[in-house]
């Protein structure tokens, strides 16, 4: 399960909406071993494409060193799909290289409704996981424009539970 | 003469879990050959059978991407640090991307 606070999730969605129709990408760093995504880093999509993304290599080196210095890791690696569902493509699966990361996909294909789904991708095997909002005081209405869960027809209401 | 090589998480199975290992040589190619002798299979994850760097692996000598330093021919010397980072890449299914992939993997 991915546990993430609403402010970070909102910022990811805002990034995806801002870069639409190009794919947006980035990470949320967190303390090593904590599995807590705490520090959002929006990355440049060096491809500037609506069907492909790749972190700029020099920016990636800088950000990865910064994480090393802070004893952090990439807890979440996110990117958007701008015309298709929020599910890892074959390209995503074959290129996934961080077995400890949550791969968060955001689909901006619908201008109103944002699909958000999270996956583990290890050795080419994709496993979906629930997304849980961890804020103590989440306004349920604030999450209503997001669609979580296994299929586009299913909303994971667990996401709304207070913690 | 030692060159520190920083190993990403996904390749640490080759280095017994070590985050950084020492290599020797005058070029990146030499260093990777040296490491492959100690950690068999590591080079194959970075270099294609045709002898070029995999497209979706980033390798840096100090602060430079080796693509701008001659790739495998990049010169290294004592005290340099080589950093290996898998590219973070993907995207919605794209024929161009898959074609690029199949030619490099």
The CATH number of whichever domain residue B98 belongs to comes to 3.10.20.30
Question: What is the nearest CA distance from A47 to chain B, expressed in angstroms?
Answer: 9
Question: What is the nearest CA distance from B87 to chain A, expressed in angstroms?
Answer: 7
Give per-residue pLDDT as tens, B11-69: 999 999 999 999 999 999 999 999 999 999 999 999 999 999 998 999 999 999 999 99
Whole-angstrom Cα distance, residue B101 to residue A93? 12
Whole-angstrom Cα distance, residue A110 to residue A107? 8
The count of other CB atoms within 10 Å of the CB of residue A123 is 8
Whole-angstrom Cα distance, residue A28 to residue A56? 16
Give per-residue pLDDT as tens, A70-121: 999 999 999 999 999 999 988 889 889 898 999 999 999 999 899 999 999 9
Whole-angstrom Cα distance, residue B66 to residue B28? 9
Q: What is the pTM of this model?
A: 0.83
* Number of structural domains in chain B: 1
Q: Does A78 touch chain B (CB under 8 A)?
A: no
Whole-angstrom Cα distance, residue B89 to residue B83? 18
Q: Does A90 touch chain B (CB under 8 A)?
A: yes
Quote the domain boundaries for residue B72: 3-103
A41 vs B contacts (CB less than 8 Å): none
């Amino acid at each position: 399960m991915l546990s993430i606070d609403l402010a970070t999730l909102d910022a990811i969605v805002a990034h995806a909406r801002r870069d639409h129709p190009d794919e947006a990408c980035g990470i949320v760093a967190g303390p090593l071993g904590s599995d807590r995504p705490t520090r959002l880093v929006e990355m440049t999509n060096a491809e500037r494409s609506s069907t492909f993304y790749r972190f700029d290599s020099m920016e990636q080196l800088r950000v990865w060193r910064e994480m090393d210095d802070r004893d952090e890791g990439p807890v979440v690696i996110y990117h958007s799909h701008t015309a298709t569902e929020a599910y890892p493509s074959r390209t995503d699966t074959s290129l996934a290289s961080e077995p400890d990361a949550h791969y968060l996909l955001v689909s901006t294909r619908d201008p109103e409704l944002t699909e958000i789904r999270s996956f583990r991708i290890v050795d080419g095997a994709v496993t979906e996981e629930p997304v849980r909002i961890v804020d103590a005081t989440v306004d349920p209405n604030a999450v209503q424009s997001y669609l979580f869960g296994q299929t586009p027809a299913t909303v994971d209401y667990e996401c709304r539970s207070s913690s | 003469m030692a060159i520190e090589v920083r190993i990403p998480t996904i390749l640490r199975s080759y280095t017994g879990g070590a985050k950084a290992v020492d290599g020797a040589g005058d070029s990146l190619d030499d260093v990777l050959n040296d490491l492959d002798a100690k950690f068999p299979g590591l080079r194959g994850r970075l270099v294609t059978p045709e002898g070029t760097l995999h497209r979706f692996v980033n390798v840096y000598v100090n602060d430079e991407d080796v693509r701008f330093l001659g790739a495998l021919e990049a010169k290294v010397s004592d005290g340099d640090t080589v950093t290996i980072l898998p590219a973070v890449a993907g995207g919605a299914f794209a024929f161009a991307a898959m074609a690029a992939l199949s030619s490099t993997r």
